[in-house]
Amino acid sequence: MWFEQVLFFVAGIGALAGALGVVLLQNPFYSVLSLVAHLLGLAVLFLLLHAEFLAAAQVVVYAGAVMVLYLFVVAYIGGADEPLRPESGGVALFGPLFAAAIAVELCIAFISSGLQALDTRGADLGPAFGSPGQIGELLLTDFLLPFEAASFLLLVAAVGAVVLARRRRGLEEVGTGAATEGGRPPSGRREPPTETLEVRV
Amino acid sequence: MDITWYLVLSAFIFAIGAAGVISRRNPLVVLLCLELMLNAGNLALVAFSRMHGGEAGQVFALIVMVIAACEVVIGLGIIVAMYRNRLPIDVDEMSELRG
């Protein structure tokens, strides 16, 4: 099964490089594109783990729809290059140190967990494992309540995003002086564009 | 490939995401790093589902993707609201909850 190993290493290194790119690239636009590469690598890994439906959903929903939403917002805000933590303070040292500690700790926990099946290639699978039919049947039988809760949560999030991102001119005029001081300055500056962000989930 | 490889990879991705959440200042990039951490969790869930031979882990990963989408939508809505109110797009400057 050398083909599977080669594919694992290619996809895994791609996913790791994408993750590093998200953290290390300075322009948010490139960070989003790097996350797309990371998600595609993860989709290949999902395929290797016999999760066909999840891989398809990852590519279509995640790398497609959600990342397009990100790109729109980055283009709207106009993400400028930001230097990576210019002052060499404590946080600049603490971040990578914390990450290394978490990685070592998780690896120790995984490897020494005593689960014997970890060193195998997994249980024997039926031919329909991870297919859309199986997942759909599980979602509508055993996991009906989480499924409905997730759909309701999506509805709430969509309504909440519209409420958050709309122009609230009325609130600022009603508010006190402290509330308006962070608002838009009286004149001379460019008004921000007036479109509302439409979010479709 | 052994399941351990997938789990170690997910641990590394999670650690990279955590480092980004700590050390980046642009809230957009912080949200991206949160996505990284959620995806590392997804990879571990799918690997365990492969190990046990049951699909419950994959359904769980699907639900996690839904949660991630909700988080993205709300987070981006907050960032756009910050931009509209001419607040600085910087998590160090945003230290209070009042809008």
Domain CATH code at residue A18: 1.20.120.1200
pLDDT of residue B91: 77
Indicate the residue among A31, A51, A82 that finishes a domain: A82
Q: Is residue B76 part of a domain?
A: yes
Q: Categorize the per-residue pLDDT at A117 as very low, low, confident or very high, splitting at 50, 70 and 90.
A: confident
Least confident range from A115-129, A164-178, B76-90: namely A164-178
ipTM of the complex: 0.91
Q: Is residue B40 part of a domain?
A: yes
Q: How far is B7 from chain A (nearest CA, A)?
A: 7
Question: Is A191 an interface residue toward B (CB < 8 Å)?
Answer: no
- What's the mean per-residue pLDDT of chain B? 87
If you average pLDDT over residues B7-24, what whole number do you get? 91
CATH of the domain at B12: 1.10.287.3510
- Structural domains counted in chain B: 1
Of all residues in chain B, the percent with pLDDT exceeding 90 is: 49
Q: Which of A32, A70, A30, A33 is nearest to A199 (CA)?
A: A70
Q: Is the dihedral of CA B82, B83, B86, B90 positive or negative?
A: positive
Q: Is residue A71 part of a domain?
A: yes
- Three-state DSSP at A144 gives helix
pLDDT per residue as tens digits for the range B16-27: 999 999 888 888
Task: Please enumerate in sequence order all residues whose Cβ is within 8 A of that of A36, keeping only pairs 6 or more positions apart, or say none.
Answer: A18, A63, A67
Domain coverage including residue B60: 3-84
Nearest-angstrom CA–CA distance, A76 and A92 = 29
Nearest-angstrom CA–CA distance, B99 and A12 = 41
pLDDT of residue A193: 52
- Three-state DSSP at A21 gives helix
pLDDT per residue as tens digits for the range A12-68: 999 999 999 999 988 888 999 999 999 999 999 999 998 899 999 999 988 888 899
Whether residue A197 and residue B76 make contact (CB cut-off 8 A), yes or no, is yes
pLDDT per residue as tens digits for the range A146-165: 999 999 999 999 999 888 87
DSSP letter for A117, please: G
Q: Is residue B95 part of a domain?
A: no
Question: Is B30 an interface residue toward A (CB < 8 Å)?
Answer: no
Q: Is residue B91 part of a domain?
A: no
Whether residue B59 and residue A70 make contact (CB cut-off 8 A), yes or no, is no
Domain coverage including residue A1: 1-82
pLDDT per residue as tens digits for the range A165-191: 777 665 554 444 444 444 444 444 445
Q: Is residue A184 part of a domain?
A: no
Question: Is B46 an interface residue toward A (CB < 8 Å)?
Answer: yes
pLDDT of residue A199: 55
Q: Categorize the per-residue pLDDT at A3 as very low, low, confident or very high, splitting at 50, 70 and 90.
A: confident
Whether residue B18 and residue A61 make contact (CB cut-off 8 A), yes or no, is no
| A72, pLDDT greater than 70 | yes
Q: Is residue A75 part of a domain?
A: yes
CA distances to A72, A171, B27, B71, B90 from B93, in Å? 24, 23, 11, 21, 6
Closest residue in B to A113 (Cα) is B4
The angle subtended at Cα A158 by Cα A80 and Cα A19, nearest 5°, is 45
Q: Is residue B98 part of a domain?
A: no
Q: Which of A45, A70, A164 sits opposite B74 (nearest CB)?
A: A164
- Structural domains counted in chain A: 2
Q: Which of B19, B35, B58 sits opposite A130 (nearest CB)?
A: B58
Question: Is B20 an interface residue toward A (CB < 8 Å)?
Answer: yes
Nearest-angstrom CA–CA distance, B94 and B97 = 8
Q: Which of A96, A132, A119 is nearest to A24 (CA)?
A: A96
Q: Is residue B30 part of a domain?
A: yes
Q: Is residue A187 part of a domain?
A: no
